[in-house]
Amino acid sequence: MSSKEEVIQVWRTADAVCFDVDSTVCIDEGLDKLADFCGVGEQVKALTNKAMGGSTTFREALKQRLNIFKPTQETLKKFVAANPPQLTPGLSDVVRMLQERGTKVYLVSGGLRAIIEPVAKVLNIPFENIFANRLQFFYDGEYAGFDKSQPTSESGGKPRVVAHLKSVHNFKNVVMIGDGVTDMEACPPADAFIGFGGNVVREKVKNGAK
C-alpha cells in the first residue's frame, strides 16, 4: 500500500480529525489580521512566515509578534466583533460530513483562542474541542503576555495535543490537517498528516507531506 493509500485509509476510518485554523480552516492568519487592525501588519507577517516555515521556534516567534503591538483586551474584543470568520471554501462541508459520520473534530492552533471561538461556533464545534493560545491581561485590560501552559504556545505542542486526545479518548486513527511545519510535526503521534496548500504553500510542508 502506498503512502497516499495509507493516508486515505486512515481518513476513511478516522476517530478524530484535528484541523489547524489559520490558512487552513480560515483563508487568513488571525494574528496577522489582528496586527493589521493595530497598524503593524507587515512586521508581524514577516515573523509569521518565519514561524510557519520552521526557521525559528514557535514560542519565540509568538512572543516577538505579540510584543510588537501588545493587544489590549478592548482591542481584541473590537477586532473579533469587526472580523467574522473567513472560512476556506468547502471547509464547512468537510466538517459537517465528518460530524455526520461520527468523527470528532478538533481545532488545534497556535493562534488565539479569542479569535478561534467564533470559528468553532460557525462550524458547530464544541469550545472544549479547541486547543489554542490564551492572551493574558492586567487588571486594567492592558496586554500582559500569553499563557505558556497551553501546549500550542510552543514548538512540539501539537503532537502533545494529539497524544493527549489519543490517550484520553482511546482514539485509534487521528488525522492532522494543516499548512505549517507545526502541523506536520504532529504526525506521529497522529496516524496521518494531510498538508493543506489551498491558501498558502509552504515548501517544507509540501516536501514532507504524504
The region that residue 191 occupies, defined by phi over 0 for left and psi between -120 and 50 for alpha, beta otherwise, is: alpha
Chain segment 185-202, per-residue pLDDT in tens? 777 887 877 765 444 545
Q: Which pLDDT does position 198 carry in this prediction? A: 43
Is 140 in the active site?
A: no
Which residue is catalytic, options 15, 22, 32, 191? 22
Cα atoms in the Cβ-side hemisphere of radius 13 Å centred on 124: 11
Q: Which pLDDT does position 182 carry in this prediction? A: 72
Q: Which helix (H) or strand (E) holds 77?
A: helix 73-82
Q: Which pLDDT does position 127 carry in this prediction? A: 93
For residue 18, pLDDT beyond 70: yes
Is 15 in the active site?
A: no
Kindly report the number of other CB atoms within 10 A of residue 165's CB atom. Answer: 22
Q: Which residues fall within 8 angstroms of residue 52, CB to CB, at 6 or more apart?
A: 23, 179, 180, 181, 182, 202
Position 138, amino acid: F
Phi then psi dihedrals of residue 27, to 5 deg: -80, -10
Chain segment 119-153, per-residue pLDDT in tens? 999 998 999 999 999 999 999 999 998 988 888 88
- Alpha-carbon span 61 to 82, nearest angstrom: 26
Record the pTM: 0.82
Q: Which residues fall within 8 angstroms of residue 205, CB to CB, at 6 or more apart?
A: 178, 179, 180, 181, 183, 184, 195, 197
Q: Which pLDDT does position 133 carry in this prediction? A: 92
Chain segment 24-55, per-residue pLDDT in tens? 888 888 888 888 888 888 887 777 666 555 56
Which residue is catalytic, options 15, 20, 32, 191? 20
